[in-house]
């Protein structure tokens, strides 16, 4: 049985995938209204009252796996409770925890419980990503990387999330882009960062740029203008092609010697159009214990320092 903890948007998307994978699902949420919606829409067992009440009423865990998709503030608490409850395989929504200390606690408890905990960055599993990785390998590897991390301030400032999460938005949300960029290009070895400006909801900065080189000898640069227009995007450059993620879900290509940018029409987007992009393959990999593309707690702890440097949190 797969426990899905949470009853919001992401929980619904995971349940949709799990039903397609013919898995037995039990949803544990807080409020009855959202739990009822999931129960009726997907015809799955779903209970309200929160995880602690569920554990109290069900002393022995029958869950083989759990997927945690609660708000950032509760990811760590929920995961620690599941580990102590005896669940051995846990997939956490990004960023896995609200701080380095929380991630370290999860890692320690997972080790003591002999459990496996991974963080879901679903863009690693986009069908556009998988196709890009094939092309990069065929072209002999990357030579360059450029990405944009612009967030839409006029939207985020009205989001119904805590001020703590907003002040750490680079980790809580923008890390999606950075994670994918360096998942493919390798972790940065040396790089410089610059930032300026500030927002009421993000005091550390509103304009970001930087450059450096990764462990795969790929030079990179990035920018983000949170008080101006823009969007998320990534360009991966090889000697033969520029692979463009704009939007992130689709793959465009610019071939050497040409100024034309064209959509790759041979990419099979069926799964990413039928489900939330990346989620079907990510969930399938998690259930099959294929962790080659999933983000470990150890990997996320290293990445946290990177996100903090880019965002000027340090």
Q: What per-residue confidence (pLDDT) applies to 314? A: 74
Q: What per-residue confidence (pLDDT) applies to 59? A: 83
Residues of the chain with confidence (pLDDT) below 70: none
Q: What per-residue confidence (pLDDT) applies to 172? A: 95
Q: What per-residue confidence (pLDDT) applies to 15? A: 98
The DSSP bridge partners found for residue 89 are: 116
Give the DSSP H or E segment for 18: helix 9-20
Instruction: Select from 2.40.128.20, 3.30.1370.100, 3.40.50.2300, 3.30.360.10 the CATH code of 124-268+297-311.
Output: 3.30.360.10
Q: What per-residue confidence (pLDDT) applies to 56? A: 93
The CB-based long-range contact list for 209-213 (8 Å cut-off, 24+ gap) reads: 210/310, 212/188, 213/188, 213/189
Annotation: CATH topology of 2-120: Rossmann fold (3.40.50)
Q: What per-residue confidence (pLDDT) applies to 161? A: 92
Instruction: Give tens-digit pLDDT for 282-294.
Output: 999 999 999 999 9
Question: Which residues, in sequence order, are CB contacts of 67 under 8 Å at separation 6+?
Answer: 2, 3, 4, 5, 14, 90, 91, 93, 120, 283, 286
Domain boundaries, the chain: 2-120, 124-268+297-311
Contact predicate 247/103, CB 8 Å: no
Contact predicate 220/228, CB 8 Å: no
Tokens of 142: 């990357």
């Amino acid at each position: 049985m797969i426990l899905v903890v949470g009853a919001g948007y992401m929980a619904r998307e995971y349940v949709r995938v799990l039903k397609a994978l013919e898995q037995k699902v039990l949803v544990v949420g807080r409020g009855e209204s959202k739990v009822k919606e999931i129960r009726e829409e997907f015809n799955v067992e779903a209970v309200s009252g929160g995880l602690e009440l569920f554990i109290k009423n069900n002393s022995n865990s029958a869950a083989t796996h759990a997927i945690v998709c609660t708000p950032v503030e509760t990811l760590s608490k929920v995961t620690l409770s599941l580990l102590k409850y005896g669940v051995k395989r846990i997939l956490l929504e990004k960023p896995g925890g609200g701080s380095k200390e929380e991630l370290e606690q999860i890692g320690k408890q997972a080790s003591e419980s002999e459990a496996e905990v991974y963080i879901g960055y679903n863009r690693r599993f986009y069908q556009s990503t998988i196709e890009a990785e094939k092309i990069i390998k065929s072209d002999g590897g990357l030579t360059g990387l450029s990405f944009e991390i612009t967030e839409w301030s006029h939207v985020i400032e009205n989001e119904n999330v805590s001020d703590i999460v907003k002040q750490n938005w680079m980790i809580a949300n923008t890390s999606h882009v950075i994670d994918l960029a360096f998942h493919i290009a390798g972790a940065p070895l040396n790089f410089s960062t610059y930032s300026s400006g500030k927002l009421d909801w993000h005091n550390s900065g509103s304009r970001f740029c930087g450059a450096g080189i990764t462990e795969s000898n790929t030079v990179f640069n990035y920018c983000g203008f949170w008080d101006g227009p823009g969007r998320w995007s990534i360009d991966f450059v090889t000697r033969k092609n520029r692979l463009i993620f704009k939007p992130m879900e689709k793959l465009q290509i610019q071939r050497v010697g040409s100024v034309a940018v064209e959509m790759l029409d041979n990419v099979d987007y069926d799964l990413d159009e039928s489900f939330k992009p990346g989620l079907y393959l990510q969930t399938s990999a998690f259930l099959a214990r294929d962790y080659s593309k999933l983000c470990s707690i150890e990997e996320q702890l290293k990445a946290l320092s990177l996100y903090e440097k880019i965002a000027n949190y340090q």
